[in-house]
Amino acid sequence: MDFALIMISDRGGLMKYAFLCNKRTSRTGFKIAVVGAGPAGLSATGYLVCRGYEVDVYDKLPMAGGLMAFVIPKYRIPLENIQEGVKDLEENFGVKFNLSVKVCSGENYEEGDELSKTRKDLHELCNEYNAVLIATGTWRSYKLNIAGENSSNVISALRFLLDLHLHDMHLAEGSLPKLGRVVVIGGGLSAIDAAEESLLRGAQEVYLVYRRTKKEAPAGEFEINRLIGMGVKWIELAAPVSIIAEDDIAREVRFQRMKLGEPDETGRPKPVPIPGSEFSLEADTIVIAVGERPTHPLSGDLAKYVGEDGRITVDQSFRIPGTNIFAAGDVATGPSKVGRAVEHGLFAARTIDELISTGKLLGD
């Protein structure tokens, strides 16, 4: 089941995060902080207010919605649909949204951090609330780690899409640079969105290059074929080996042809380089769309609960052991679709409710 659909009301597809009730009818006296106003955080907030909890939401962005609002194209999820649900939480359930506030513990940088105006220490939240739910998502892009990647016209898909949205929302100064000839590297939904947005915004040519085939692409064959029908040029079984730059400006991407070998740890056939098969694509804009990793506010003693892939390790109760800190959504599961993040947020909220109701929070 896609739990994102449960939140859709009958008023033109508007999202209602508190879909279990129409208003808060009782108050438990417990206060909960939700860190992250994306799909997991908003769905958890909706569940908790329907159970009578006072909930404050913190987010580093100037508007609630997370990746739904600032990265996913509006033709997938209209911004007004997201914000109508946020308004419902504020006006009918008393949820306080603390926006442009980055909750952290120590120093760490994520894409989009420049939008925050103040910082709030995680440990302070733990002292001010009975429980804290972390739902901070995935705000750090993976890199290719090849020569020329730090050139000025090489950008991550996350940053590329975020910048487009900020300009559309009139939250960024100046004008966007001309895209020219765009090369997007990757095969997931971020790559699809970057390629499609480039085409829609007047790019001269758009190439989408992936190291496996359509069949293995995370975005799926349908999405790739749809883009090909729009005019995007698809190249499969090719992996980037270097970016050729002059005076900090990338001019072309060098690729190597691949063939599919034995399955790797993901179960998909591993791309194997074909010697002597290199070729180049000229580019004015290069978008790296090879995935994002979870971003979290943990440090110090809590850092041991963060895996190598950035995910927060929680127990079966969605709790960091020995604390009243919980985690839900992509920060705990790794990158996923909106529906799965919504589901995970709901399950975490239900568990928090059960622990409070049975007196199993620390300090009870």
- Amino acid identity at 178: K
Average pLDDT over residues 285-304: 95
Looking at residue 13, what is its pLDDT? 58
Looking at residue 284, what is its pLDDT? 98
pTM here is 0.93
For the stretch 215-274, pLDDT in tens is 999 999 999 999 999 999 999 999 999 999 999 999 999 999 999 999 988 888 999 999
Residue 22: both structure tokens together = 């129409």
- Residue 350: CB atoms within 10 A of its CB come to 15
Looking at residue 2, what is its pLDDT? 46
- Bridge partner residues of 203 (DSSP): none
**pLDDT above 60: residue 341:** yes
Looking at residue 25, what is its pLDDT? 75
Using CA atoms, how far residue 138 sits from 95, 301, 312, in Å, is 24, 22, 12
- Please tell me which residue, 102 or 108, carries the higher pLDDT value: 102
Query: Taking the C-alpha atoms of 179, 180, 184 and 189 in order, what is their torsion angle to the nearest 10 degrees?
Result: 50
Which residue is associated with the tokens 């765009």? 182
Residue 74: both structure tokens together = 């509006």
Return the ∠ at Cα 266 (arms to 262 and 271), rounded to 5°. 45
Residue 35: both structure tokens together = 């860190």
Which residue is associated with the tokens 């390790």? 313
The H or E element containing residue 333 is: helix 330-333
By the 10 Å C-beta count (0-12 exposed, 13-18 middle, 19+ buried), 117 is classed as exposed
Complete domains list, the chain, with CATH: 3-139+292-357 (3.40.50.720), 143-288 (3.50.50.60)
- Residue 235: CB atoms within 10 A of its CB come to 15
**Longest CA–CA separation in the chain, Å:** 70
Q: For residue 48, report the phi and psi dihedrals to the nearest 5 degrees.
A: -65, -40
Kindly report the average pLDDT of the chain as a whole number.
Answer: 93
8 A C-beta contact, residue 61 and residue 70: yes
**pLDDT above 80: residue 333:** yes
Looking at residue 7, what is its pLDDT? 54
By the 10 Å C-beta count (0-12 exposed, 13-18 middle, 19+ buried), 195 is classed as buried
**DSSP characters for 26-87?**
---S-EEEEE--SHHHHHHHHHHHHTT-EEEEEESSSSTTTHHHHTS-TTTS-HHHHHHHHH
Residue 176 CA to residue 113 CA, distance in Å, equals 20
Residue 60 CA to residue 163 CA, distance in Å, equals 16
Q: Lowest-pLDDT range, 18-32, 179-193, 304-318, 344-358?
A: 18-32
CA torsion sign for 326, 331, 337, 338 is positive
Looking at residue 273, what is its pLDDT? 97
- Bridge partner residues of 269 (DSSP): 263
Phi/psi-derived region of residue 248, left when phi > 0, alpha when psi is between -120 and 50, beta in every other case: left
Using CA atoms, how far residue 188 sits from 48, 133, 235, in Å, is 33, 28, 14
Residue 7 CA to residue 100 CA, distance in Å, equals 25
Confidence of residue 120 (pLDDT cuts 50, 70, 90): very high
For the stretch 129-178, pLDDT in tens is 999 999 999 999 999 999 999 999 999 999 999 999 999 999 998 888 89
Looking at residue 28, what is its pLDDT? 86
Using CA atoms, how far residue 271 sits from 48, 84, 268, in Å, is 45, 45, 9
**pLDDT above 80: residue 345:** yes
Residue 195: both structure tokens together = 């390629």
**pLDDT above 60: residue 3:** no
For the stretch 177-218, pLDDT in tens is 899 999 999 999 999 999 999 999 999 999 999 999 999 999
Residue 240 CA to residue 246 CA, distance in Å, equals 18
Looking at residue 203, what is its pLDDT? 97
- Residue 229: CB atoms within 10 A of its CB come to 8
